[in-house]
Each structure stands twice: as structure tokens, then as C-alpha cells.
A and B are shown apart, each in its own frame.
Chain A
Amino acid sequence: MKSITDIFKGDPTFYPSPKMAMKAPPEDIIYVVGLYVGTGIQKPDFIAVVDVNPESPNYSKIINKVEALYVGDEFHHFGWNSCSSALCPNAKPNLQRRYLIVPGLRSSRVYIYDTKQDPTNPRLVKVIEPKEVIESSGYTRLHTVHCGPDGIYISALGNSEGEGPGGIFILDHYSFEPLGRWEIDRGDQYYAYDFWWNLPNEIMVTSEWAVPNTIENGLKLEHLKDRYGNKIHFWDMRKRKKIASVELGSENRMVLELRPLHDPTKLMGFVNVVVSLKDLSSSIWLWFYEDGKFQAEKVIEIPAEPTEGQLPEILKPFKAVPPLVTDIDLSLDDKFLYVSLWGIGELRQYNVSDPFRPRLTGVVKLGGILHRANHPAGHKLTGAPQMIEISRDGRRIYVTNSLYSSWDNQFYPEGIKGWVVKVNANPEGGLEVDKKFFVDFGDARAHQVRLRGGDASSDSYCYP
């Protein structure tokens, strides 16, 4: 039964500006996708509910697991049906952050879970079958989910044959019906991966990985030359038309996570490039709008580390460990950029107060092909930092260790046992691993994390 005040209240987790969202209360639970794809275990993937309240007796424990209906979906990224973008002037009103939208990267199936009645026990309320996604949009292999002001946006890597172009399709905010392909004029855009936007300027930016047929059975070195993307694309969100593309160096491949500044008055953001064909380095680029055009500039370069010890087959010819920067995340005050080095085994913190001149302010070593570092409490860490999620106040960083099932097996052939580690961030700079927090996923692997109430990569804002 709703009280009178509930009827007239909006969702308390929506904030008009990132500055205000930073004052939100700390999260008490987090949702983490767990997957068995690639482990040889024939079980459905699941959403793990983890207690992250330090005062709770269940702190750092999985308090519930909600299984998918089928085996082999490969849960990967996921998101909320609605978020702070609902406060944008043109947003649809009366929405609540209530449903988790969980696509299968391999199956292209979308699960919708309701977290309202019992946040610790998400309830499956709808499944969108791959056939419906293909019929409405032509797309498959679903990746990023963002809650937009006018619908739920989901990116897709390719078409039903596993080739390109990949793109974005939309779900209705209220019924979750697929509305169809988003792009009206895509120009020469072919590869797809991540996307995000600057809402008041109505600019969307998209990035490039590769088509499903290139990536699904593992990384093949001969494909690196010409079957992986190296561009970002800028789109007019109203006309749904590509207006510019910027190539991030002819030698670079795999342009992945897009992190626009949260302050919507600043039309700029960061993106990571996984590998350079020249020297295996990873890089982070700043894209920005200046002098009437979109531009990008490399602001961080992380070199490969030469070594001959304990290299997986795929790296033996190079006699080096590439950093493999596979995820980045930006704090809500746009002050710190967090970077995961999935090859070497580090989580780094850069002060990006001056986005053109980032300064390294913190490093922790976790797992890795190079470091093989264990958790400070003694837990063995397979894999290395991969997905990063930052709490709204910027004090806590949650890190998981799986990249993508078939690639996990190539880079960590000894096997990856899923984990979530929490790293405490000093507001002045500096990182420290929380010794009391270690979530063991056993044989399953862990990928994206979402914080109840929102986090640094879930919400978009229309006000500074």
C-alpha cells in the first residue's frame, strides 16, 4: 500500500547533477553478473546480490543468486531501466530505477528483473527472445545498456550472421518492447561496442571492437591488422545521424569504454584503446569538441612489460605482457579516472582534473599475468582487474576479473575463478585494497557490477 508521500515523491535515487549524486548515501548492496560460459560447467548465468554494508554480518558475502532461464547466455554488461536522465527536461516522467536490464552477449536474449519488492531477490518479469531483437532491429550480441531520457538504449556488436554493422536499438521505457534500430543515417560506421552521450548537447559517441564472428571463438592475432576497429563516432542524437568520426591512430586496435565527463557543460570524455600493433602498449585518449570539430588526443600511454616467464601461448611470440587496458571509469566529480590493466594486473588511479594532463596518483596490484599478486588477505587472485565500478561518492571502487569467456581462456589458461575486490580511494588521491572484502564466485566468473541506487557509469545528467 502506497503512502500519500510515496504518491507525490519521485525516485530518490535520481539526481539532477553529478555533484548532487556524490552526496547520495553509500550503497548497501551491489549486483554482479556471474557467468559459467567458457568454464566447461553447463549452468545458467546468474545475477549475484552482494552485501556491501560494512556494518552487516553478511558484509562481502553473496546473499542471493538469481539464475537465468537458459545455459550459455553469457551475461556481460547490464543496466537500469531508468536513472537520473529521467530528470532531463525532455525525459518521460514517473519512471523509477526499478528494473535491471540484463542482455546475453552470446545469446542476444534480454532478461528484465524487478528489484523493487525485494532488492535482495530480483524477480524475473520479462524475457525478450533473440528472435524479437532480430525482427525489430536486425542486431545481435547485445552489450552496453544505458537508461536514456526517452527509452532504454542497448548496443549490439553485429547482425544475425555475426557480421556488421553493429549498432544500437531501443526498448520502450514502460513496456520493454523492442522499438527497433536507433540509427537513421550511420554513414560508414560498421564496428560497434560501447556508447554514451552528452544529453544537453544531444551528442552520442560510439566506439569499435569487432564483429561477433571475429571475437567469439577467441582472439586470433592475424585478425588484429584489419578486423578490429580503431575509431570513435559522433552522432546527432536528435537526427540519429553520424556527424563525425575520429581515428585513434592507425596502429591502434580495439577502442572500448567511453566515459564522457559527467558535467554536461563539458563536451569531452575519455576512451581506452586496448592494444597498439606497434609495441603492444595500451592508451587512453581524450575526445573533445573544439574549433567546430571533434578531435581526440592521446593523454595516457602504458607500455608493455618485457618478460619471458609464465606467458600464455598467445603472448609467447612477443616475450612481453601487454597492459591490456580493458576498462576505465570516471568518478562523478570528473576528478579521477580508474584504469584496469587486465594483462599486467593493476588498477590505476589518475587525477584528471586537467583532462589533457592526467597524473598517476594510485596503483594497486591484483593478479595479472605479470604480477600474479594475491589479495592482501591472502586470497589467490586468478585473472586480473577488469570491470571497474565506482560508488557515487567516489570512495569505493569495485573490481571484477573476467573479460570475455573465450578470451579469458586464452590469456589465463590456468582458469579464472571469479572474484570481486573492493578498493578504497582517498579523495586526495591514492588507493588501498579493503582487506575485509573479497567475494569468491567459485567456478563462475564475474563481470559487470551495478550499485543499488546508481553508480559512476549508470547515470547521465542534464545539469552541472
Chain B
Amino acid sequence: MLVQTLTAILSIIFGILLGVDPSKGSLFSYYISTRSPVLAVFNIINFTTISIIPALIVSTFLISYDGKLLLTLIMGIIIAIHSILKYFFGRLFHYSGSLKVELTNIVKWSSLNPLISMDYFLLIFYEIFWNYSIITVYFISLLTKSIMLLIYKKYSINAIKVICSVNYDRILSIYSLFSIILSIASFIWA
């Protein structure tokens, strides 16, 4: 129970972080919203779905897998090494593809970056501990991105400046490391 509760909390926080990080969909949507608000909302759904749901598909194949514990350990080590490298060498693990705001690029962007930055891995890692983790991250992230777009559009353009003044790469790398250690520790403890 301890592990599930902890993973649920970690999933909610991760969903919020993915939603707030402007490079994970909300700024793209803000750009699109200058042309079409409907397309901007569609983009948020599209972006979030592509950047999260593939992890859910992969994890469904792993649910019945016998060597889950070993897999968890290996994934934990990979994510931990990745997080440490990412923290110290910010230029690593970043997809720098086309930024033309069109559907094919948004699909590429929202699928390759979660792969390179280990978001998919972390989601699967959470899912192994708690079966509703990915769905929780999906809805929390979707909700947060929508709120961010509303804030950008309706309340204050300065909010974007505040949001963009944070180095999310660093926050996410530390958060990934922290959640891996905490999850494994609580699993052993339980």
C-alpha cells in the first residue's frame, strides 16, 4: 500500500511537471492559438497523448511479465544514470528537429523527446508499481497544460516569462532520480 500511495503522489507531481514545462506542448499551443484556438486545444490533446500513451501500450505487455523486479531494477539504473548525465551535461539527450508548427513535426517532437529524455521509461517504471500511474499522469498533464494555455491567453502574458525562467531539464532530471530512489526504497521497505 505504501508503494502504491507513494507512486500515486509521484505520478501526480510528474503530471504537473510535464504540464508546466513550456517545451512540452503549452508554448506550441500558445503559438497555434494566435491562428486558431480550436487547433490549440487539439494540439494539447495530441501532444499529451503522443508523449504519454505509448508508455501505457508498452507497459500493458509487461504486466504479466515474470521478471518485473529485475526489469524495474534495470530501468531504475538506466533512468538514474540518464538523470545524472542530463543534470551535468545539459546539451545531451535533446531532440533538435524542425520547429515548423505543423502536425508531422508536433508528432515527431512529442514522441522523440519523451523517448530521449526517458519520460516513457519513467512512466513505465511508475506503472509497474501502480497500475493507474500512466493514466493519472496523462490526465493531470492534460489538465495542467490546458490551465497553462488559459493563463497565457487570458490572464497574463507575463506568466510565460515566469514559467520560461525555470530550467525544467534540471528539475526533471533531479525529480526522476529522486523518484527512482524513493520508489525502490519503499518497495524494499514494504
Closest-CB distance, A456 to chain B (whole angstroms): 18
Docked Cα-Cα span, A19 to B160, in Å, equals 11
Pick from B24-32, B37-45, B126-134 the stretch touching chain A: B24-32
Q: Which residues of A contact B165 (CB under 8 A)?
A: 9-10, 12, 14
**B96 and A16 contacting across the interface, CB-CB below 8 Å:** no
Check A94/B90 contact, CB under 8 A, given A17-B157, A464-B34: yes
**Smallest beta-carbon distance B102→chain A, Å:** 10
Contact of B99 among A9, A17, A23, A88 (CB under 8 A): A88
- List residues of chain A with CB within 8 A of the CB of B100: 200-202, 238
Complex alpha-carbon distance, A17 and B31, angstroms: 10
Question: Which one of B1-9, B63-71, B137-145, B167-175 is at the interface?
Answer: B167-175
Contact B96 A94 (CB under 8 A): no
**A90 touching B98, Cβ below 8 Å:** yes
| A10 near B98: Cβ-Cβ < 8 Å | no
CB of B109 within 8 Å of the partner chain: yes
Q: Contact at B96–A150, with CB atoms within 8 Å? A: yes
Contact flags A426-464 to B (C-beta < 8 A → 1, else 0): 000000000000000000000000000000000000111
- Nearest residue in A to B160 (C-beta to C-beta)? A16
Report how many residues on chain A are interfacial, defined by Cβ distance under 8 Å.
34
Q: Does B158 contact A (CB under 8 A)?
A: yes
Give the residues from 144 to 188 in chain B that come closer than 8 angstroms, CB to CB, to chain A: 157-158, 160-161, 164-167, 169-171
Whether B27 and A89, one on each chain, are in contact in the complex, defined by CB atoms closer than 8 angstroms, is yes
B88 to chain A, nearest CB (A): 10
A173 at the A/B interface (Cβ < 8 Å)? yes
Q: Which residues of chain B have C-beta atoms less than 8 A from A184's C-beta?
A: none
Q: Which residues of A contact B167 (CB under 8 A)?
A: 7-10, 93-94
**Contact string, A163-181, partner B, CB cutoff 8 A, digits 1/0?**
0000000000110000000
Nearest neighbor of B170 in chain A, beta-carbon distance: A8
- Interface pair B164/A87, CB less than 8 Å apart: yes
| Contact between chains at A93 and B164 (CB < 8 Å) | no
Docked CA distance A238–B108 (Å):
15
Check if A199 is an interface residue, CB within 8 A of chain B: yes
Q: Are A93 and B99 in contact (CB under 8 A)?
A: no
Q: Are A20 and B166 in contact (CB under 8 A)?
A: no
Nearest-Cβ distance from residue A150 to partner chain B, whole angstroms:
5
- State in angstroms the CA–CA spacing of A96 and B55 once bound together: 33
Across the interface, do A93 and B90 meet the contact criterion of CB distance under 8 Å? yes
A265 within 8 A of B: yes
Which residue of A is nearest B23, CB measured? A89
CA distance A15 to B162 in the complex (A): 10
**Closest CB-CB distance, B145 to chain A, in whole Å?**
14
Distance of A264 Cα from B31 Cα, bound (Å) = 9
Does B73 interact with chain A (Cβ within 8 Å)? no
Q: Which residues of B contact A92 (CB under 8 A)?
A: 90-91, 94, 96
Q: Is there a chain A Cβ closer than 8 Å to B76's Cβ?
A: no
Closest chain A CB from B115 CB (angstroms): 15
Q: Is the CB of B90 within 8 A of A10?
A: no
Query: When each residue 12-37 of chain A gets 1 if its CB lies under 8 Å from chain B and 0 otherwise, what string results?
Result: 10111101100100000000000000
Bound state CA distance, A339 and B91, in angstroms? 39
For residue A30, give the distance in angstroms from its CB to the closest CB of chain B.
23
Q: How far is the CB of A111 from chain B (nearest CB, A)?
A: 23
Asked if A322 is an interface residue, CB under 8 A from chain B, the answer is no
Inter-chain contact count A-B, CB under 8 Å? 91
Tell me the nearest residue of chain B to A23, going by C-beta.
Answer: B158
- The chain A residue sitting closest to B97, CB to CB, is A90
By a CB distance below 8 angstroms, the chain A residues around B161 are: 15-16, 20, 23
User: Chain A nearest CB: distance from B166 CB in Å?
Assistant: 6
Contact of A462 with B96 at beta-carbon distance under 8 Å, contacts A10-B165, A94-B91 already known: no
Q: Report the bound CA distance from A462 to B101 in whole Å.
A: 10
Do B166 and A8 have beta carbons less than 8 Å apart?
yes
With an 8 A cutoff between CB atoms, is A91 at the interface?
yes
| B96 and A14 contacting across the interface, CB-CB below 8 Å | no
Per the bound structure, the CA–CA distance linking A201 and B99 in Å amounts to 8
Answer whether A463 and B166 are a contact pair too, CB < 8 Å, given A20-B157, A91-B96, A92-B91: no
Residues in chain A near residue B94, CB distance under 8 A: 92-93
Q: Which residues of B contact A130 (CB under 8 A)?
A: none
Q: Is the CB of A200 within 8 A of B90?
A: no
CA distance A219 to B88 in the complex (A): 52
B22 contacts A by Cβ under 8 Å? yes
Q: Which residue of B lies closest to A20 (CB)?
A: B161
Q: Does A149 make an interface contact (CB < 8 A)? A: yes
Instruction: Please state if B160 and A89 are interface contacts (CB–CB under 8 Å).
Output: no
Q: Contacting A462 at CB < 8 Å: which of B31, B35, B97, B109?
A: B31
> What is the minimal beta-carbon distance from B183 to any residue of chain A, in angstroms?
22
- Cβ A90 vs Cβ B95 within 8 A: yes
- Cα distance, A202 to B161, chains bound together (Å): 23
| Chain A stretch 365-402: residues in CB contact (< 8 A) with chain B | none
Whole-angstrom CA separation of A90 from B27 in the bound complex: 12
CB A17 to nearest CB in B, in angstroms, measures 7
A202: chain B residues within 8 A (beta carbon)? 98-100
Residue in contact with A89 in the complex, picked from B34, B99, B158, CB distance below 8 Å: B99
Q: Which 4 A-B pairs have the closest CB atoms?
A: A94-B90, A90-B99, A90-B96, A20-B161
**Mind listing 10 A-B residue pairs with CB under 8 Å?**
A12-B165, A15-B161, A17-B160, A20-B161, A149-B96, A149-B99, A200-B31, A462-B31, A463-B30, A463-B160
Q: Which residues of B contact A (CB under 8 A)?
A: 22-23, 27-28, 30-31, 34-35, 90-91, 94-101, 109, 157-158, 160-161, 164-167, 169-171
Binding site for B on A (CB under 8 A): 7-10, 12, 14-17, 19-20, 23, 87-94, 149-150, 173-174, 199-202, 238, 264-265, 462-464
Given contacts A20-B158, A20-B160, 16 further A-B contacts (CB under 8 A): A8-B166, A9-B165, A10-B164, A14-B164, A16-B160, A23-B161, A87-B27, A89-B23, A89-B28, A90-B98, A93-B91, A94-B169, A200-B99, A265-B35, A462-B99, A464-B34
